[in-house]
Every structure is written in C-alpha cells, then in structure tokens.
Amino acid sequence: MNEIRTAITNSQAQDTVTNLVTRTPGNSPDMADVPETSAAGKRPYKALPVQQSLNLEAVTGPAYMVNNQFEVEWSNEASNDSLFHLEAGLSEDITECSIFPLLLNQEPIRTAVDRDEILRFHLMAAKNRIPRARFYTLGSQMDGKDVETLLRTYDETETADRAALLHTKVNMAPAGSPASWYLIYASFFREGVFFTYEPSQSPSDSLLELLGRRDVIIRELLKKRRPYLTPLSVMVADIQNSVKICAELPPEEYFELINQIWSTMEPILRKFNATHGKHVGDGLLCYFFPQPDSNYILNAVQCSLEMQEAMRTINMQWRGRKNWTNELMLNVGIDEGQEWFGTYQTNTHLEFTVLGDTVNRCGRLSDFATGGTVWASKNLVGRLTQSERGSVRYRIHRVNADGDKLFVDSTFSRISNLVDLDIPQNKKLQDLGSLPVTEILESSHTG
C-alpha cells in the first residue's frame, strides 16, 4: 500500500454561516453608517446580508487559503503576482509558505499605509489557531524587526469569532501616494482560513454571494489545492483474525460488529485531530497533521492507546453476547515522516491522498503487531519532546541465555532481531528488517 485516501463529502464540508460581520476603520470613506469606534476603543462590527450561490471564479482579486498553521495551501494568480511576487508560484514545501513572511517581505503590504491593520486582521484570525511561540520560528524567513512587530501585535489583538465572516477596509497605497482602498474578508473553515481582497470602490455582489456559501468555497478550494510536502504521522489499525471472525458470524452481525467498532472509534479520532484515510477491508488508516495546540506525533500515540482501550470494552461486550473464545483486538502501527499531500478528484468525488514511504512502513508495522499491540518506529518516538517521551511507556522483549522472555523498558530493536524474516508469514516484513521499533504501552501526558 503506497497511498491513503479520504473521501470528502458535502456533509463534511458544509459549515453554516451563523453570523456575517464587518470591521471598518473609522477613517475609511463611504462607511458613514458605521460608528468610528466602540466604547471599548475597538473597531466595531456590523452585520451584512448573506446571499447565495456561485463558485471560486467570482474571486478576481487576490485570494489565498491558509491552513491552521497559517501556511498558504492555495493562492490564486492575483495573489502570486500582486502580493507575493512569486513568478514560479508557492514553494512545494509547505513549511516555507507561512503567510506572514509572504506578506511582509514584498510590496505592497510592506509599504502600505495600513500595513499594521492588515497584520492585525490576519493575527486576529490566527490567534486561536497558532501559539505565540510559533512566530519565533519565522526569524529565518523574515526580518527580526518584523518578527517583533508580529509578536507585539499578537499580544494586543483580540481573538476572532470563528463562526463569523470577518471584513476590514484598508488603504494599501504607500505613504504619500493616492489612497488605494481594499476590502479584505476572512472566512473560517475546519481546514483553515480563506482570505480575499477586492477594491472597495467596486465591491462585488458575486463575491459576497460566494462567501455566504461556505460549502461551495471549501469544495472549490479542495479541488484546487496543490500537492505539497508536509510533516505528518500515520496510523494503520487492523482487526486481528478478522477473516476467522467473519466466517463465524452471520453477515448482519459481522457488519454490526464492524460498524460498532468504527463508530466507537470516531469520537476518539476527532479528539486527537485524526484525518480519516480509506477503509481497506476491516482496517483503518488515519493521518495526523501539525496542530496549533498539540503535538501531532503525540496525538497519534494517544489516539492509538485510547482506541485499544475502547476495543477492550467492545471485546467484553461481544464475548458476553456470543459466549465465544474469540478475542477482538486491534493491531496498530504508527510512524511519522514528511510526505506529499494532495487530492484525487472526478466530477462528483474528491479524495485526500498521502503518498510515500511513511504510509508503507506504517502498514507493515500494523502487520507486524499482534495481540492487540501498538508498535511505533524509533523515529516517531524520537520526535517527541523530552517531556512527552518521558510520559510514554514503551518496551522491547528480549530473550536471556536461559531462553526466558524479558521486557526492557525505554528501548528499541530492529524487526529482524524480533522475528525470523525467512519464514513465509514474515516475508512481507523483509523490507523493514533494519527498522528500529518499539511497543507502545501507555502515555500519561496531559498536555
């Protein structure tokens, strides 16, 4: 297996607009019906009507979609030409596409009269998604004074309402030049934030109609999303002896069991920000992307362990119901790496796809795991922070001179030292023979 696919349905993409609000600087023209400031000294909000329909072609000005790390996943030609000055387009490495260096390293934003307001507007959208410390990592991509400006503005900025479509009006002309007023909108989605710009003297009804249809926007954006390299963790979980269990159960009961297992796992997957991969037979594939408030690698570890605990409960229920000797167990493999993330699509269907060796290794680790265990690569465990790693209990079994089996905590072993790769049932593990791995037992990390 060299890919993971996830179907994106309309029901998953649909987010209802609960409020459409606008923020307007007091010194902006043509907005006389909006008070200059609120009692608290903040720029006010005002409701705008929500209209219907259209598609992404309605956006003729600069537009871009950032993920939850505020890295640009998609930008239109107008953004690349007039804002970012990227003749060859965005970098294939998503970590080089932070929106703040892209904006501040080039005109017109860097020299705009309302540069600080543009930054404040973006930081307002970012504040409940990325931690303050994230900006220190941008020092290699932008001027140190700009980083200081971002940190100061971040501290002074309120947090945006993620249920709202935000709007501000800014002068993007350099000081001393004729004013060039633009409207900037920010629309929030589970996948990130969509920003659009348009000249304020000719606001587009079509754009407002589009921004009122969040399901249309996210479907269009996912279709246009470019493949990019991203760090991630992958988890593959398989039900042990599923063929035997399938043979023993009536078809309706087997499907009942499988549906119970994966419906039970669904809240756990959501809790740890897992993105569904494609079910292959009785197995499940998920991947974990960087998150603003948690370590995606630790998320994979903790999600796997909670799934195991849930499986033990399901096992007890079915043992009592069927009075059988079968043990329902999930064998889980987890790994991490940097891989390509993109989409496959037809006129009616869209699937996320992750390609690369991380997926292959993870599938083999799941094959290697037996007895309802969780196995991880040394590379994954090594990417945890010292505190996180200290909260995770992991081990390898060894055999002493007398042939007794011993368990040694906090250690790893190559797969070739744990099983005989020459016997037929282990042939599929030969390409991972030199991979150091460990069994994950528990995690006490609380955040």
Start-to-end CA span in the chain (Å): 33
Same domain for 87 and 165?
yes
Number of domains in the chain: 2
Same domain for 169 and 307?
no
Same domain for 356 and 285?
yes
Same domain for 255 and 222?
no
Same domain for 253 and 384?
yes
Which pLDDT score, from 0 to 100, does residue 10 have? 34
Q: Does pLDDT of 258 surpass 60?
A: yes
pLDDT bin (cut points 50, 70, 90) of residue 279 is: low
Q: Does pLDDT of 190 surpass 60?
A: yes
Which pLDDT score, from 0 to 100, does residue 218 have? 73
Answer whether 193's CB lies under 8 Å from 159's CB.
no
Q: What's at 310, amino acid-wise? A: A
Same domain for 306 and 178?
no
Which one of 201, 226, 251 terminates a domain? 226
Same domain for 220 and 266?
no
Here the CATH number for the domain that contains residue 258 is: 3.30.70.1230
Same domain for 281 and 398?
yes
Q: What's at 33, amino acid-wise? A: D
Contacts of 137 (CB under 8 A, 6+ apart): none
pTM of the complete model: 0.64
Same domain for 102 and 69?
yes
Same domain for 54 and 151?
yes
pLDDT, average across residues 131-154: 88
Same domain for 55 and 99?
yes
Integer angstrom CA distances of residue 426 from 59, 238, 433: 55, 17, 10
Domain interval for residue 190: 3-226
pLDDT tens for each residue of 22-68: 333 333 334 333 333 333 344 443 434 444 445 677 788 899 999 88
